[in-house]
Structure 1
Amino acid sequence: MSRHWRHKVEVAVLSFVGITGFLFLLQNDKKGPVLKEAMETPVTIPPIITGRPKPIAECQRNVTVANISGFAGLPDHIKDFLRYKHCKEFPLLLDMPDKCGGPDNSYDTFLLLAIKSSPGNYERREIIRKTWGQERTYAGVNIRRLFLSGQVANARDAKKTNQLLKIEAEENGDILQWDFLDSFFNLTLKQVLFHSWMEARCPGVRFVFNGDDDVFANTDNIIHYLLDVPGAGDEHLFVGQLITNVGPIREKWSKYYVPEQVTASKSYPPYCAGGGILMSGYTSRTIYKESLGIELFPIDDVYLGMCLEKAGLKPSSHMGIRTVGVRVPSSRLESFDPCYYKELLLVHRFVPYEMLVMWRAIHRPNLICGKRMEVYQSL
């Protein structure tokens, strides 16, 4: 072949390679920014799952309740309860799907602390995290913690508190938040949604502590008590401060006012005060199943009693659970003495700083009980 033709062939080959390479770069350039973005994305903790796998239709209010005799004269919060008591499903805004290690590994969680907390109660949650609500292994078993919350009514405040809860969830991994109004009459809804969540996420948990964020719980004592309970969570257990032979309060001034338009019954089933309750995983699952067929009732602890009654189970009393505080032998004695709390399981009504002071006091190695010791004063 002559030098002239060889030159033409080389030019043609180089041109083909050049054009092919140029087209390749153009095609790759369209994908380049995506690949670059993916490479530069830092490795982070898996995001918090929001919402549920299936969409939940917005629950519509029941307008027919306006026809109930005396409805117009009821307080607004009771009217709202009657309008929406059929609504039992709400989207999760903040979820902790791996709190118990997944459904298959949830048997490794011995005690799950499920603490009802309004969105703005940041200080209470922080103190609980540092004291009795610590996630830890104690006496060879695992303790895990969750705070249960809804949303505040005011849209401007909701924007701030939702951001607060999101920050807490990212930092501590312990927030469950649903898209409903967090109010006293919606505590039952919060309770039902938690049991539904637990059925899906943590079905094998051995025991559950269910209580408010203003209680002081001695989780050391709780663990020792539960370790001696037969059945390791597979048998019925529901203990607290037992309440029997009571019925609805009909006085409108009361926080617990329940009119006849809500229930005509004059008595409640036996139940435990909602400030703090211990239950087995078996009982928690039973409550979930029974709640599917029982309409919501505005008093959450009474509602749990209704679920137990339908299942043929009974609540029990425990002397170490004091939801109305500690009574001392004499008015001359200081009720905030750690010796009164060292052997208890739970006491209701503590402000945050008291939780920290008492937690440190009962864990002092030199605490000697048998005579009055004001250890807390030297902290």
Structure 2
Amino acid sequence: MKMVKMSYSCRRRRWKLETAVLIFMLTLFVFIILQKDNKNNNTKSQNTLSKTKSNSRPLASPDVLLSSTYKCETNLSASNISGFSTLPKHTQDFLFYRHCRHFPMLLNNPGKCGGPENSADVFLLLVIKSSPPNYERREVLRKTWASERLENGVWIRTVFLSGTTGQSFEKERLNKLLEMENRENQDIIQWDFEDSFYNLTLKQVLFLEWMEKFCPDVHFLLNGDDDIFANTDNMVQYLKGLDDNDGSKHLFTGHLIQYVGPIREPASKYYIPVQIQESDSYPPYCGGGGFLLSGFTSRIIYNMSHSITLLPIDDVYMGMCLEKAGLKPVSHMGVKTAGLYVPSDKLDSYDPCYYREVLLVHRFLPHQIFIMWHEIHREDLVCGRKGFSDFVSKKFR
């Protein structure tokens, strides 16, 4: 009897032990499965996060952010140039800092063209040079010809290029103005250099560098001032009608200027002394008020600019870059950077019928731009009056 009880007790202990081992094994198995799932989930989360990060647009490229610490040093040896002391101060300053091509970026819009990989979706990029105080001009342009839109089936995008103006508090206020504008419109690119006439070429070169990074595959560009009236509807129509050129071939057209050279008169706005350029001739170029070029040509100009010393006159500098590349600018009768010719004093020089047919006219006040843009889009506009038809037949056939 005692032996039976002991045998039963042993079996019972063994059964409890086996049950405990089985429970332990099951628990371990479940733990391993859960750990494996958790690891897979973490991997998926990391992959998703990585993909999200790779697809998101950065606020600025690393080199742009690093440029905020860059400071260009004065080239003091420029003062040894013969006749340097006789030059105007702004000319001396240009020679002191002529070598400087990198400046801190204050405002950037790297996603303007949808990122570099999507920039081919932009057919026409409007590149408008604008000084910080010109708020009214920028606002009018945003509401008229520079509005970002789908025009005739293709996208138009806009950027305003600016430096800085003023000293101390005034500079801070104007920078704040641009910051507020950009927060609302996302269309300003600003660098921390003095926004002056002599620095227009610098502004141009900095933009071409920016375009190479953020909008490399744009088809065409309008490069112009903020006081022009541009019929961007006509520009799209003209560019779409080009034979065998979708922006991948050379195009540089506007008001062609040739057989001229530097102005040596110190009182002139366009004064270029021999200390800046010895040659007495300029290559052919298009007036800087506004011109059209292809994405292909903009890249060529950017590449050529690396080996051409900066010249204060930005439109001439573009001509120099074209000449070095063996390319030529051409004339377009619809681009009137010298103003629009009206055949009689008895005709209204602001008759919208004149402007409905052109591509670009220079020197407009903000209110004139606003009125003209809406006038040329009037459905009841009739342009068959005597005088106008003769003007069109001579100028735009």
The two structures share one fold, judged by TM-score above 0.5: yes
Larger radius of gyration, structure 1 or 2?
A: 2
Aligned residue in 1 for 2:256: 242
Mapped partners of 1:107, 1:267: distance in 2: 37
Q: Where does 1:243-258 land on structure 2 (aligned, <5 Å)?
A: 243-258=257-272
Counterpart residue number, 2:167: 154
Report how far residue 327 of structure 1 moved. Answer: 0.9
Choose the corresponding residue for 2:324, options 310, 313, 330.
310
Structure 2 match to 1:213: 226
Q: 1:256-290 CA deviation, whole Å, 9 max, x = no partner?
A: 00001111100000000000010000000111111
| 2:290 is the alignment partner of 1:276 | yes
SS at match of 2:118: helix
Determine helix, strand or coil for the equivalent of 2:110. Answer: coil
| 2:83 aligned with 1:70 | yes
TM-score normalised by length of structure 1 = 0.85
Runs of 4+ aligned residues of structure 1 deviating over 6 Å after TM superposition are none
Q: Does 1:60 align with 2:87?
A: no
Between the aligned partners of 2:227 and 2:160, the Cα distance in structure 1 is 12
1:184 aligns with 2:197: yes
Is the CA contact 1:49–1:94 (under 8 Å) kept in the aligned structure 2? no
Spell out the pairing of 1:82-97 with structure 2 (5 A cutoff).
82-97=95-110
1:134 to 115, 136, 147: 147
User: Aligned-pair distance for 1:373?
Assistant: 10
Amino acid at match of 2:248: D
Unaligned 5+ residue runs, structure 2? Answer: 1-56, 389-397
Alignment match of 1:193 (pick from 198, 206, 211): 206
1:91: Cα distance to partner? 1.5
Which of 283, 303, 309 is the aligned partner of 1:295?
Answer: 309
Q: Which amino acid aligns with 2:322?
A: L
Deviations 1:190-242 (A, max 9, x none): 00000000000000000000000000000000000000123200000000000
Does the 8 Å contact 1:339/1:372 carry over to 2? no
The aligned counterpart of 1:169 is 182
Amino acid at match of 1:255: K
User: Contact 2:282–2:316 (CA<8 Å) still a contact in 1?
Assistant: yes
Question: Matched residue of 2:163: which SS?
Answer: strand
The answer (yes or no) to whether the contact 1:48–1:94 under 8 Å persists in 2 is no
Helix, strand or coil at the partner of 2:64: coil
Q: Per-residue CA shift, 1:324-363, capped at 9, x if unaligned?
A: 1111111121101001110000000000000010001000
Q: What percentage of aligned pairs have identical amino acids?
A: 58
Q: Per-residue deviation at 1:153? A: 3.3
Q: Cα RMSD over matched residues?
A: 1.7
Amino acid at match of 1:337: D
- Contact kept, 8 Å, 1:337 with 1:373, in 2: the verdict is no
Matched, 1:346 2:352: no
Q: 1:100 aligns with which of 89, 103, 113?
A: 113
Distance 1:231 1:366 in 2: 35
Q: Distance in 1 between matches of 2:374 and 2:66?
A: 45
Give the total of aligned pairs.
Answer: 330
The residue type paired with residue 111 of structure 2 is D
Q: List alignment gaps of at least 5 residues for structure 1.
A: 1-45, 375-379
Letter in 2 for 1:54: L
Q: Distance in 2 between matches of 1:373 and 1:67?
A: 60
Higher normalized helix content (fraction of residues): 2
Q: What residue in structure 1 maps to residue 123 of structure 2?
A: 110
